Amino acid sequence: MRATIKSTKDLNKFAKNKSIRQYFKNLKNENENNKIHISKSPYSSSKFITKKINLSSKFINNKIKEKETNEIKINDIYIKDEDNEEKKEVKEEKKQRQYKKRETNKIIVIDKDEEKENDKNEEIDKDNYKNKDKKKDKKKKENQQNDFQEKKVKKLVNALPEGRIKKIVSYTQAGKDENGKSKVNQDSFLVLQNLYNIKDFNIFIVFDGHGVNGHLISQYVTKYFESFFKNNTNLNTIKNEDEIYSILKKNNYDIIKKAFQEAEDELENKTKIDGNFSGTTCVMVIQIGEKIICANVGDSRAILVKENYKVNRIIPLSIDQKPEIPEETRRIIKSGGEVSQLVVDGEKNGPYRVWKKGEAYPGLAMSRSIGDFIATSVGVIPVPKIIEETIGNNTKFIVIATDGIWEFLDNKKVVDMISPFYEKNDPDEACKELIKESTKLWKDEEIIVDDIAIIVIFF
């Protein structure tokens, strides 16, 4: 048997009107040897990707034996045994009714003065009871509002109440292989907001993994950067935007460049991930007050959009780092590599790639990345190119995305698609529309569909 569940909501529907424990008992009896495949998204804001988790019959058996709790834990998803909860509630109600009956059967003798005082006390008790009820109703409403807000945060990542940013949305989607089946998603993203309680200190990053272990590398580097910025001793004691900016810019953005280099060094020396022919791109946008700093390795991309005289002005925050760029080519050749297109049947085909001189490897189609250790030996580096811009009242939005978006959509097309949604203040629908259009174009133009990661920020 195979049951696929994509969300907690689906999981609750899946078990509706049945005891989970009883369900697993029946399932076990029906087919002892089969496995259940339950899938969920490994990302707080993804709507498309799923990860399969196998639960063996042995696991189910163990869960059946658990009698001390009314919850069953499945890969960090908790499901309440609703039937047992309802039974408990019914029992408690019965107890209360019995207790009331006993109270009414008691014979109590009191004089008139005491009776009056009791009447007054009863009225006071009733008022207090009503007030308690009102307070409970208020708390319920507040909890419902908080629940709704939490759901909204998961969907939109965050709707900032203060600072220059209005709304942020992040999505990632797994691509399809040549057979039309979903593959492992090698793209990821990171959003760090209001770092060190500074309302206008935010960091946004997308990663595009490539090679056999690209997904492992992009995930590892995502965690590395999160730890680097959250726990950085040079930054976490400062509570002032100007000082943070000064440290970031000091010595030609030395702290940012070191972060990229250390990410590669730790990947190579402190993990067992094979990065010889696998790596990741990384485009990082740091917003500190009115300053925007973009650091980039690879061919993922970020753009800033401002409005001048009611016309959109597109400002590139990054440059796709291709091997054919003269500066990049010179470094690669000097390091013992060469740059050329793939030759098929005597004809040049596809993008320019990095090769070891006289060899048919590594064939990387970018000149900078994190990982790709064989390519590193011939001039591919993890040192980012950095561009700085300023935002103001005429700033509209920033788009950061992997080449799953940019491969068939140029900057202008992306801006034109987002602009109507900017007027509606709806970055969520803007992201969905971009992903939908990009996926369609990949299907039309290629035999595969690339992974996608995207962040859209409205000012």
One digit per residue, pLDDT tens: the chain, 459 residues?
334 444 444 444 444 334 444 444 454 444 444 433 333 332 233 322 323 333 344 444 454 444 344 443 333 333 344 445 555 555 566 555 555 444 444 333 434 455 555 555 555 555 665 565 555 665 555 555 444 333 333 344 444 446 789 999 999 999 999 899 999 999 999 999 988 888 889 999 999 999 999 999 999 999 999 999 998 878 878 878 899 999 999 999 999 999 999 999 999 999 999 999 999 999 999 999 999 999 999 999 999 999 988 889 999 999 999 999 999 999 999 999 999 998 888 888 889 999 999 899 999 999 999 999 999 999 999 999 999 999 999 999 999 999 999 999 999 999 999 999 999 999 999 999 999 999 999 999 999 999 999 999 999
pLDDT digits 0-9 by tens, 250-281: 999 999 999 999 999 999 999 999 999 999 99
Q: Which helix (H) or strand (E) holds 230?
A: helix 214-230
321: exposed, middle or buried (Cβ count in 10 Å: 0-12, 13-18, 19+): buried
- Tokens 């035999």 identify what position? 447
Helix (H, G, I), strand (E, B) or coil at 391: coil
pTM of this prediction exceeds 0.75:
no
105: exposed, middle or buried (Cβ count in 10 Å: 0-12, 13-18, 19+): exposed
Q: Could you tell me which residues come within 8 angstroms of residue 329 by beta carbon, excluding any fewer than 6 positions away?
A: 323, 339, 367
What's the rounded Cα separation, in Å, for the pair 448 and 441? 11
> DSSP secondary-structure letter at 246?
H
Q: Could you tell me which residues come within 8 angstroms of residue 355 by beta carbon, excluding any fewer than 6 positions away?
A: 337, 338, 339, 340, 361, 362, 363, 378
Helix (H, G, I), strand (E, B) or coil at 372: coil
AA identity, residue 30: E
* Buried-state track 211-220, b at ≥16 Cβ within 10 A, e below 16: bebbbbbbbb
pLDDT digits 0-9 by tens, 64-80: 444 344 443 333 333 34
Neighbours of 44 (CB within 10 A): 11
